[in-house]
Amino acid sequence: MSFIQDFDEYGAWRKQFALRLKLLSEWLIDHDLMQPGVRDRLEQLHAEVKSDKIMVAFVAEFSRGKSELINAVFFAGYGRRIMPASAGRTTMCPTELAYDAEIPPCLRLLPIETRLQPQSLLDWRNAPNKWERVDLDVNDPKQLAKAIQKVAEVRRVSRAEAASLGFWNEETPEDNPLPGPDGLIEVPKWRHALINMAHPLLKQGLVILDTPGLNAIGAEPELTVSLLPQAHAVVFILAADTGVTKSDLTIWRQHLAALGEGRESRLVVLNKIDTMWDALSTPEQVQLQIASQRTDSADILGLSPRQVLAVSAQKGLLAKVNRDEKLLEASNLLELEAALGVGLLGQRRKILTAAVSSGIDALRDETGRLVHIRARDLVEQVQELEGLRGKNAGVIKQMRLRIEQEQADFDASGAKIQAVRSVHLRLLKDLFDLLSATQLKTEVMELARALKQPGVKLGVRRVYGHTFDRLRAGLQQADRLAGEIQSMLEGSFKGLNAEYGFSLQTPEPPNLAQYIKELDLVEKSHLQYLSLGNALRLAQPEFGERLARALMSRLRVVFESAVNQVELWNKSAAAQLDAQLRERRRNFGRRIEAVSRIQQAAGGLNERIRELQMQQAELNLLDAKLTELTDHLLASPEEAPVEDALA
């Protein structure tokens, strides 16, 4: 299957999941099972699947055929090039292609001059009026391609301006662009581009990040330390005839090399194998040369040979447009698409399915517990009423008085339950303080000051180490405090269960250790950036400031995710207690109503017992249906048609 087919299947699974979740929500509402805790779980699951994005970043030095590869894999259906890929007309600024239904199809361009201002890229994203906007007609390939050509635009500026923008450095003359006859330097006109279009793959959650060459990558720290490390896959493009050049190796070592799981998400593409199709060499000889280049490149980059693929993007695009199966096979493009589909999508779906499965288990437990409470209350009511058979009016009246006394005692116990809540909330406040934006800002302040200082920053690596040690210590303290709260909840719930016959169970505590791992990845991406090759850039205060802002943006995401998980855990515990308090009060009301009916009519006792027994049978059916509906949520689309689930 091609990447597009794989992605269609993945999109179909997500769409079917969202529909099944909606139907489950309606069913829960219809059967009075939509409690606040259950609603929170449903909303989390819906948001997790709906907002699931898969980012594929394409990285290469200039003239490696990167934009042509994007055209071949994603846009061949337009019958022409969409991304600029002709000689001298290539992507000059980082470009993201994605889809947001809230925004009309358009190209938004952030002027390069914004590099001179203090805001981060994330800040600029929230200021749409600062971007130049070009509307796109996605049904007109010619207009679409012409509009997107703007990402290739350049400006000619003085050396001083080029230096202030990060494209000229007197200390490293070998890396500087060649000045024109007039002494001016060519720099990108735009700092960042966002393309919003309803391409089928983009609509299903794919995000494509097209990055320019080494000079542009190095000058934009937010790209290197935030966007690239968060990409689910990075496709690094080399030229097949040259293999790994010095500048390719610089990009790899400074910006892409990763250890552990991150390395598995790297694919290297030796592009332009058609340049090796030599009439004087046999096909076998050509294949041996390509195989040798793949092995050598894998050795140099420290990858498995299976992560290095050899293709011809230009021939692959041509073959797709002309429907030439033989040329498509020769281009090896389908091998790359298979690697993206099986590797990237398979891994992503596995991660999402595991997260969803965990959420569904929690949802099922929470709802099942509510059904169990109602079933237990019905059994108690039936036993209570069975005991009234053959009893006189005085006994029945005595029972009513006893139920009313139980209700009064229960209502009076509110202070004890409120005390449990107070202790819980006090500890919870301490936990939220440890994860707050204010605390984060305080911890990063010293590092931000060090990065903004002018001159060579010899001690900055040490300051990074101290900062991340403190951040990790803060998360470890938060994790310990969450453990204390969990223990307190377990003790309180056990006491309430014993005293009031509740069936409270503490929800799974938040896993804050995972955010410590994320901190390790953030630190690694930054320390990788502090190589000798970037020492001169770091000496510039404005560059250091951009790096500090990029760090703060990334850390904010990590800590906000931790806060969200703590909030869900807290809501789950509170909602469970609220639900059982509510059910107990309703149970008192039902018991008093049943005794009142029996007092008023001699036949009322048998009639009420029959009603309760019918309700028991209905609850048994509800429990079975809940299991069936939640099982359907994890099934693939072909395994469980939606209409069958609610039959």
For residues 226-246, give the mean pLDDT.
87
Give the pLDDT of residue 482: 92
Q: Is the pLDDT of residue 442 over 70?
A: yes
Q: Residue 400 corresponds to which tokens in the numbers above?
A: 């009513």
Give the pLDDT of residue 260: 43
H or E element at residue 59: strand 54-60
Chain-centroid distance of CA 268 in Å reads 24
For residues 248-269, give the mean pLDDT.
75
| Collapsed DSSP state (helix, strand, coil) of residue 51 | coil
Across the chain, which distance is largest between two alpha carbons, in Å?
A: 113
Q: Is the pLDDT of residue 640 over 70?
A: no
Q: How confident is the model at residue 472 (pLDDT cuts 50, 70, 90)?
A: very high
CATH superfamily of the domain spanning 53-153+189-331: P-loop containing nucleotide triphosphate hydrolases (3.40.50.300)
**Better pLDDT: 200 or 98:** 98
Q: How confident is the model at residue 628 (pLDDT cuts 50, 70, 90)?
A: confident
Give the pLDDT of residue 259: 45
Q: Residue 111 corresponds to which tokens in the numbers above?
A: 């002027």
Summarised one tens digit per residue, pLDDT across range 533-589 is: 566 667 777 777 778 888 888 899 899 999 998 988 888 888 888 888 888 888 888
| Collapsed DSSP state (helix, strand, coil) of residue 77 | helix
Contact by Cβ (8 Å): 371, 38: no
Give the pLDDT of residue 387: 80
For residues 257-282, give the mean pLDDT.
78
Give the pLDDT of residue 23: 86
Nearest to 205 by CA among 13, 70, 445, 60: 13
Q: What is the residue type of 446?
A: E
Torsion angles phi and psi, residue 310, rounded to 5:
-115, 125
Q: What is the residue type of 438?
A: T
Q: Residue 122 corresponds to which tokens in the numbers above?
A: 């994330």
CA–CA separation, 291 and 287 (whole Å): 6
* CA-angle at 591, arms to 588 and 592, nearest 5°: 85
Q: Is the pLDDT of residue 1 over 70?
A: no
- DSSP β-ladder status, 154-157 and 85-86: unpaired
577-596: b (≥16 Cβ within 10 Å) or e? bebbbebbeebbeebeebbe
CB atoms within 10 A of CB 332: 20
Q: Which of 199-203, 418-422, 618-622 shows the lowest per-residue confidence on average (mean pLDDT)?
A: 418-422
Summarised one tens digit per residue, pLDDT across range 576-612 is: 888 888 888 888 888 888 788 777 665 577 787 888 8
CA–CA separation, 340 and 333 (whole Å): 11
CA–CA separation, 295 and 284 (whole Å): 16
CB atoms within 10 A of CB 426: 10
Give the pLDDT of residue 646: 44
How many residues does the structure list for the chain?
647
* This model's pTM is above 0.85: no
For residues 185-190, give the mean pLDDT.
91
Q: How confident is the model at residue 647 (pLDDT cuts 50, 70, 90)?
A: very low
CB atoms within 10 A of CB 367: 26
Percent of the chain surpassing pLDDT 90? 24
Task: For residue 189, give Cα distances in angstroms to 93, 109, 170, 595.
Answer: 8, 9, 22, 81
Summarised one tens digit per residue, pLDDT across range 333-390 is: 989 888 887 777 777 777 777 778 878 888 888 888 888 888 888 888 888 787 877 6
Torsion angles phi and psi, residue 64, rounded to 5:
-95, -5
CA–CA separation, 268 and 240 (whole Å): 11
For residues 287-304, give the mean pLDDT.
92
CA–CA separation, 203 and 141 (whole Å): 18
Give the pLDDT of residue 324: 94
Q: Where are the domains of the chain?
A: 1-51+348-386+602-647, 53-153+189-331, 415-600
Give the pLDDT of residue 536: 65
CA–CA separation, 630 and 645 (whole Å): 10
